[in-house]
Structure 1
Amino acid sequence: MGAGTEPDGSSRSDEEWERFLRESVAGAADAPKEPSARARAVAKRLRAEPGRGLEGWRSYTPARPKRRTGWYVVGLLASLVLLVVALAPGRIVDLFAGADSPPLAAETARPTQVPPTEAAQRPTMDEPFRGSPAASWASGAAGITVPKAGAVGWMSAAEVERALARSRDFLVASGLDRGVLQGERPEKAIALINPHQKDVQDLLKTAFRTPSEKNDPLLLFSRFQPSRTHLVGDVVKTRGRLTYREGERGALQVTADVTFVYPVTRADAGGDDEIVRTIVRRELVLSWDDPDKVITEPGTFSIVSYKYDMTNGGCGAPTGYFTPPFGTDRRADEAGTEIDPYDRSTPVGRGESSGDECGRATRS
């Protein structure tokens, strides 16, 4: 076949002319194709619709299917909760009524109302404060609030700060020291008391040998007889505060108002895990005297007054120890005046001249 002739007079080779005829019959891959009638109609409609001119007529974004997995999980969890409530309702009560109660803020002033009543729950060896307002109290010395120090009377602010710290040390040594709680003589606490204060020194000389209503170590110290009573765990719950002002002859007068909660069980309980909470609220007024005006020793205070309220600590003749009632003994202690041992909104009622009436706890 002869070569083709281009418009400009040039000629094609036989091979190019043959390839041209072959592609014309088969259709070149990049040769433009005329749109179908349907495509022309769709394109015309899209151009006529505002806001759709830039979108390809085959463009389509499928709607995402709604995920239902979350609802399946919620339903499964709800079913599990209902099953747990049915099988162990007591454990659910624990979660919302005591075991994980958030700690209370420190007490900085006398409360205006009593703590709310907790759900009735029996204490256990693992949770001895269960079902008690004390469950949310601080432990040990952390529950005794010490105010910011300022200069008072003969003392500078730094000296007042040291005196407040030692006042709290006395509360720790007399009411929290493990040895003292187990019946040992409170030597550290006694060392902080002015050795020249005759009336208190007379009390200390006789109280531990021959306790009596007038000279009872429980007036100042918390003690249990280890042959009869064991403390449960290593924690004593406390709540209270120190306050101070200027006293007589320019002395620093510190008042301590603190409640101690001691969980105890019978020493020979064996498999019996009956737990009683002995609750003691103490009020002590201490005088840090000016050594130029009062005979005293450095680092010691004189005791102005002391009084306490006690429940579940035993009644009868003084023994020098708290004697918590267990079992049938508890009924014998239920004839006294009712006391809410967690009510810190009223002054301490019991003192050295308050008689031998035994208070009965409305809750423990």
Structure 2
Amino acid sequence: MGAGTEPDGSSRSDEEWERFLRESVAGAADAPKEPSARARDVAKRLRTEPDRGLEGWRSYTPARPKRRTGWYVVGLLASLVLLAVALAPGQVVDLFADDGPDSAPLAAETARPAQAPPAEAAQRPTKDKPFRGSPAASWASGAAGITVPKAGAVGWMSAAEVERALARSRDFLVASGLDRGVLRGERPEKAIALINPHQKDVQELLKTAFRIPSEKNDPLLLFSRFQPSRTHLVGDVVKTRGRLTYREGERGALQVTADVTFVYPVTRADAGGDDEIVRTIVRRELVLSWDDPDKVITEPGTFSIVSYKYDMTNGGCGAPTGYFTPPFGTDRRAEKTGTEVDPYDRSAPVGRGESSGDECGRATRS
């Protein structure tokens, strides 16, 4: 059998033998290849995890429909807010009220203002901020809110003597309306010591007012007092705004007029967990006469009281007790009598006098 001859006797051309030899060496293009070691390892792992098959390219698993709970939550929250507003409207307003920075202090009052201060945002006072929501938040504290003018010679007094008299006049306002002991019901000894002991009508008032208070002889006509068993002051600050003025009076005396508003934040003594705070607001007008000792019987360093008036709100009504009696809770809501008055309006004159007998004023704001 010669080269190029098949066993069955057929023969092939030299080109076919040459192609056969090349494919034998390189391998046929369509011959199956043995898989690599990594491919065999992956195939083995897939066979041992039958549940982890590949998802078919035509298969589709729709997403579970989402429950629309958003509107239900919004509705529930809205209902709770409406319920809270109905039960405690003031506290809900506080949640959204912006305290902002503390109010800028007002300049000292040197003359009667032309109008009442603007309304403040409605906010409930707290123990930390007892003047919150009132014009008094921007007032000065204590004696700093009482403006004393520059002194000049008047009548029988030199400028230096007038300066001392003005300072002592302010001392009386501090001792009668700001002293912590007096505010807690103690007898105002320091203030009384500045009053001319020879002024009979005033001495009669002082003699009986603290023992048997009456419409005519009431210590509140001159002094601010709260009954400690019933009322407690909130914090250590009393806000004030007002001024002293002076001129020459009768017989060459130095006549000093004081017009000052005091704001006292208070709470009930047995408050417990109650956070109600009431502001008792008292505006006083006092006219004091520093008399010439050569013309009037007096003592050095004392003055005579020419007149006294005061307006008061949130201090209680009814028979005199010798103390301010702020209304709390249901008493406050039930107190509807009296003429409406804006206790922060210092543009009008003081109206309540020692014998006026007027009913208590009802505050339009506090």
Common fold, TM-score beyond 0.5?
yes
Q: What secondary structure, in the 3-state scheme, does the structure 2 residue paired with 1:328 have?
A: helix
C-alpha distance 328-80 of structure 1, shift in aligned 2 (>3 A)? closer
Separation in 2, partners of 1:13, 1:257: 137
Q: What secondary structure, in the 3-state scheme, does the structure 2 residue paired with 1:30 have?
A: coil
Separation in 2, partners of 1:203, 1:58: 106
Shift of 1:232: 0.1
C-alpha distance 269-156 of structure 1, shift in aligned 2 (>3 A)? same
C-alpha distance 226-85 of structure 1, shift in aligned 2 (>3 A)? closer
C-alpha distance 264-80 of structure 1, shift in aligned 2 (>3 A)? closer
Is 1:76 the counterpart of 2:76 in the alignment?
yes
Verify the 8 A CA contact 2:352 2:358 in the aligned structure 1: no
C-alpha distance 208-99 of structure 1, shift in aligned 2 (>3 A)? farther
Verify the 8 A CA contact 1:99 1:135 in the aligned structure 2: no
TM-score w.r.t. the length of structure 2 is: 0.74
2:189 to 179, 183, 187: 187
C-alpha distance 10-193 of structure 1, shift in aligned 2 (>3 A)? farther
**In terms of mean alpha carbon deviation, does 130-139 or 2-11 score higher?**
2-11
Shift of 1:358: 1.1
Shift of 1:33: 63
Residue matched to 1:14 = 14
C-alpha distance 349-85 of structure 1, shift in aligned 2 (>3 A)? closer
Shift of 1:71: 34
Is 1:34 the counterpart of 2:46 in the alignment?
no
Shift of 1:332: 3.0
Verify the 8 A CA contact 2:90 2:124 in the aligned structure 1: no
Q: What secondary structure, in the 3-state scheme, does the structure 1 residue paired with 2:85 have?
A: helix
**RMSD of the alignment, in Å?**
13.4
C-alpha distance 319-162 of structure 1, shift in aligned 2 (>3 A)? same
Q: What secondary structure, in the 3-state scheme, does the structure 1 residue paired with 2:45 have?
A: helix
Separation in 2, partners of 1:68, 1:363: 48
Separation in 2, partners of 1:105, 1:196: 39
Shift of 1:82: 22
C-alpha distance 217-62 of structure 1, shift in aligned 2 (>3 A)? same
Separation in 2, partners of 1:114, 1:244: 24
**In terms of mean alpha carbon deviation, does 271-280 or 6-15 score higher?**
6-15
Verify the 8 A CA contact 1:333 1:358 in the aligned structure 2: no
Shift of 1:353: 1.9
Separation in 2, partners of 1:41, 1:243: 106
1:122 to 113, 121, 124: 124
**In terms of mean alpha carbon deviation, does 28-37 or 90-99 score higher?**
28-37
Q: What secondary structure, in the 3-state scheme, does the structure 2 residue paired with 1:78 have?
A: helix
**In terms of mean alpha carbon deviation, does 345-354 or 280-289 score higher?**
345-354
Residue matched to 2:333 = 331
Instruction: Give me the identity figure in percent.
Output: 94
Separation in 2, partners of 1:5, 1:163: 150
Q: What secondary structure, in the 3-state scheme, does the structure 2 residue paired with 1:24 have?
A: helix
Verify the 8 A CA contact 1:42 1:57 in the aligned structure 2: no
Separation in 2, partners of 1:19, 1:149: 132
Structure number, greater radius of gyration:
2
C-alpha distance 51-276 of structure 1, shift in aligned 2 (>3 A)? closer
Q: What secondary structure, in the 3-state scheme, does the structure 1 residue paired with 2:242 have?
A: strand
Deviations 1:66-120 (A, max 9, x none): 9999999999999999999999999999899875100000000000010000000
**In terms of mean alpha carbon deviation, does 236-245 or 98-107 score higher?**
98-107
TM-score w.r.t. the length of structure 1 is: 0.74
Shift of 1:356: 3.8
Verify the 8 A CA contact 1:286 1:305 in the aligned structure 2: yes
Verify the 8 A CA contact 2:135 2:344 in the aligned structure 1: yes
C-alpha distance 72-174 of structure 1, shift in aligned 2 (>3 A)? same
Verify the 8 A CA contact 2:184 2:227 in the aligned structure 1: yes
Verify the 8 A CA contact 1:239 1:259 in the aligned structure 2: yes
Number of corresponding residues: 364
Deviations 1:117-137 (A, max 9, x none): 000000000000000000000
**In terms of mean alpha carbon deviation, does 238-247 or 17-26 score higher?**
17-26
Deviations 1:19-67 (A, max 9, x none): 9999999999999999999999999999999999999999999999999
Separation in 1, partners of 2:12, 2:171: 115
Structure 1 stretches lacking a partner, 5+ long:
none
Structure 2 stretches lacking a partner, 5+ long:
none
Shift of 1:334: 1.7
Shift of 1:16: 75
C-alpha distance 49-351 of structure 1, shift in aligned 2 (>3 A)? farther
C-alpha distance 203-86 of structure 1, shift in aligned 2 (>3 A)? closer
Separation in 2, partners of 1:291, 1:11: 163
| Runs of at least 4 residues off by over 4 Å | 1-99
Separation in 1, partners of 2:117, 2:282: 16
Verify the 8 A CA contact 1:2 1:14 in the aligned structure 2: no
C-alpha distance 36-317 of structure 1, shift in aligned 2 (>3 A)? closer
Shift of 1:331: 2.5
Verify the 8 A CA contact 1:3 1:17 in the aligned structure 2: no
**In terms of mean alpha carbon deviation, does 74-83 or 336-345 score higher?**
74-83
Shift of 1:213: 0.1
